[in-house]
Amino acid sequence: MTPAQHTKFYFPNWLGTCRRLGWRMESGRLLSPCGNEHQHKVYAAACMIAAKEHRAPVIDDLRHGVHVVALGCDKSSKMLNNRELDRVVSYMQLMVDETNIKADMCLDNPDIKVREALVASIDKMIIPLSIIDDVCRKSYREIYASPHWKYLPIPVLRGLAGVLRDMKEQYLAESRS
């Protein structure tokens, strides 16, 4: 995880989760009202983490408890890769709202977040749909149904993003000349 992801994505999600669940420290004691099954699992993991050090759980134990439950092991938030980060944040969302279908689906199928990121990176390039459609028709005609480039398989989307990035860089280089 990059430092920017850590400070601008991970921790705001964590702090928002704590705020919405009412998790806080008061007079040196953890106040963590437990509601749904996901919160109970995290609290149990936090108690186990704290017990290893012969103390009561604190907020940071809850945070690491999310890692344990979402990933199956404890891991520093700074060492999370993008897929693990998506799992942890999806689990936080389920703790807040266990009916969050998108978060539940993302836990079951991590490729959803990968697809979203690829589509977002292509959208950020601000390339007209006609050009994207033309590249897809020429390069991926066997599997492409116009204009639904967003539903191409993930490896193909990665390739499409690379081709479009190269095209844009070449266009910008030629326009500067």
pLDDT value at residue 106: 84
Check pLDDT > 90 for residue 171. no
108, 141, 161: which is the final residue of a domain? Answer: 108
pLDDT value at residue 176: 83
55, 88, 108: which is the final residue of a domain? Answer: 108
Q: Give the tens place of pLDDT for each residue, 68-96.
A: 999 999 999 999 998 899 999 999 999 99
Greater confidence (28 vs 43) lies with 43
Check pLDDT > 90 for residue 161. yes
Same domain, 119 and 102: no
Same domain, 67 and 10: yes
Same domain, 93 and 29: yes
- Residue range(s) defining the domain that contains residue 146: 113-176
Same domain, 58 and 134: no
The count of structural domains within the chain is 2
Instruction: Write the DSSP assignment of the chain as a string of letters.
Output: --HHHIIIIIHHHHHHHHHHHT-EEETTEEE----SHHHHHHHHHHHHHHHHTTS---HHHHHHHHHHHHHSS---GGG--HHHHHHHHHHHHHHH-TT-HHHHHHHH-THHHHHHHHHHHHHHT---HHHHHHHHHHHSTTT--TT-GGGS-HHHHHHHHHHHHHHHHHHHHHHH-
